[in-house]
Homo-oligomer: A and B are copies of this chain.
């Protein structure tokens, strides 16, 4: 055995260590935000480069904070994709905020583990209050409120919510079918639904072949129609299968499509399917009454999930899941090992959130969401959302006004999809796609913006997703300028044509 350590050595946590260590980090992050526009949004990194820069083994002796921050600056920053850059328009945003970071600091600093009510009562109580606040703010049906028997929980990701609700629906169904029935259960989603539903279905043990991907089309704005679900369900029932779970999405990842919740809810009710409504991204917009029509019919849903870590200024990770009937969820996910039993208060009268999720342990996520709401207020959050939607409208107008481009699918909240359009009837889709791919690579290689793509109706489209906390109109204007500049560079237009256009 090694030499005995001093039992009262300086503590790795405590007032002195903490003050000394945290201030330089604040200054570092302050500098990061100040300089963030000077970094390429997406780095030009080679796979494996960082491994060659770092030692093979951890240091034997610790280094001061300053040395660590120097390493972050030298080795890590140049290899990051800067999600907080005002020029990040890729995927969906994962915007953070000063309040979100403040909340994370409190979460991490208090570092409590609220797996049960008793293991940190205020954390569980705050969570149940803040998910009610969110439910009201989004205009979700009362049935998801604590006072109406429904309830919410904070997970780390939509996928965790999906796996949890799928497991709940499965176990409820298997109580009458018997466990062998698991191979007969069917889950329905659209070709626009997030991959998380397919993955979740596999994780909970339903045969991959029983995941139905129902096609959508431009005629319904790529929304999943109730009729198409009805047809698929009837065909499955005729084959001896059992409909289990239907996924509806408000604001799909590819093009922001909106599924008709009421129609889907009616089909789900008819066949006793669990209806889950995924508003991961667009849920943030529901706080503005003018965007709330799309949630009509949500009273037919069994569960709804929404990600504050996308467009709601809440730093990673945070997902709200509401369920109308918590008992179905907890009966699938409860455990009661002796070492967690509480000798004292608690018990059946309180929420033990370990029984509402996959894991037992969990961070105090409610803190950061509460701090965000407390700091910006409902009015501040609505202004934040409307600002990005206005930016998207401006970008959409620019694209529509330029006949070299086209808006491919209707703007959805703050997401615009566009592409270089075919220049004449002879140009085939394959070469148009190739040109748009080249355009996207050119945009991203410039480091001045980062966008991603999707393929819809066999068309390659570029996605411009607004939502960064630091994004201002000037960044959106610059992005549009960049698109036109790179389109010219990749030879998108006949030379003369382009010149004429640029003069306008």
Contact = CB atoms under 8 A, between A and B. Distances in A.
A25 interface: yes
Of A159, A340, A346, most buried by chain B (CB within 10 Å of CB) is: A159
Nearest to A394: B7
Interface residues of A, number: 189
A129 B454 contact: no
Contacts of A387: 5-7, 9
A72 B370 CA distance: 10
A257 to B, nearest CB: 12
Contact of A125 (B72, B79, B99, B104): B79
B473 A8 contact: yes
Interface stretch (A61-69, A236-244, A485-493): A61-69
Contacts of A67: 374
A187 interface: no
A123 interface: yes
Interface in A45-61: 45-51, 54, 56-61
Q: How would you classify the secondary structure of chain A's contact residues: helix, strand, loop or mixed?
A: helix
A494 interface: no
A375 B62 contact: yes
Interface stretch (A216-224, A262-270, A271-279, A355-363): A355-363
A299 interface: no
Interface stretch (A193-201, A397-405, A422-430): A193-201
A340 B209 CA distance: 23
A453 interface: yes
Interface in A199-236: 199, 202-207, 209
Interface string A354-382: 00001111111001000101111111101
Contacts of A143: none
Interface string A399-433: 00000000000000000000000000000000000
B473 A7 contact: yes
Contacts of A182: 182-183, 205
A84 interface: yes
B121 A338 contact: no
Contacts of A119: 81, 91
A151 interface: no
A470 B253 CA distance: 45
A122 B195 contact: no
Of A12, A45, A317, A387, most buried by chain B (CB within 10 Å of CB) is: A12
B339 A110 contact: no
Of A5, A391, A454, most buried by chain B (CB within 10 Å of CB) is: A5
A371 B68 contact: yes
A328 interface: no
A186 to B, nearest CB: 13
A358 B160 contact: yes
Contacts of A448: none
A78 B12 CA distance: 24
Contacts of A350: 47
A156 interface: yes
A345 B15 CA distance: 45
A469 B112 CA distance: 13
Contact of A58 (B111, B133, B157, B288): B133
A28 B22 CA distance: 12
A180 interface: yes
Given A91-B339, A98-B18, A335-B195, A84 B106 contact: no
Nearest to A8: B472
Interface in A299-355: 307, 309, 313, 315-317, 332-333, 335-341, 343-346, 349-350
A45 to B, nearest CB: 4
A160 B91 contact: no
A190 B89 CA distance: 50
A101 interface: yes
Interface string A1-19: 1101111110111110111
Contacts of A159: 358-361
A141 to B, nearest CB: 16
A290 interface: yes
A482 interface: no
8 contacts: A47-B349, A61-B377, A80-B112, A81-B120, A100-B108, A156-B156, A316-B362, A344-B444
Given A84-B110, A180-B180, 4 more contacts: A5-B383, A12-B376, A13-B100, A309-B361
Which 4 pairs across A and B sit closest by C-beta, in order of nearness?
A205-B205, A79-B122, A157-B359, A50-B125
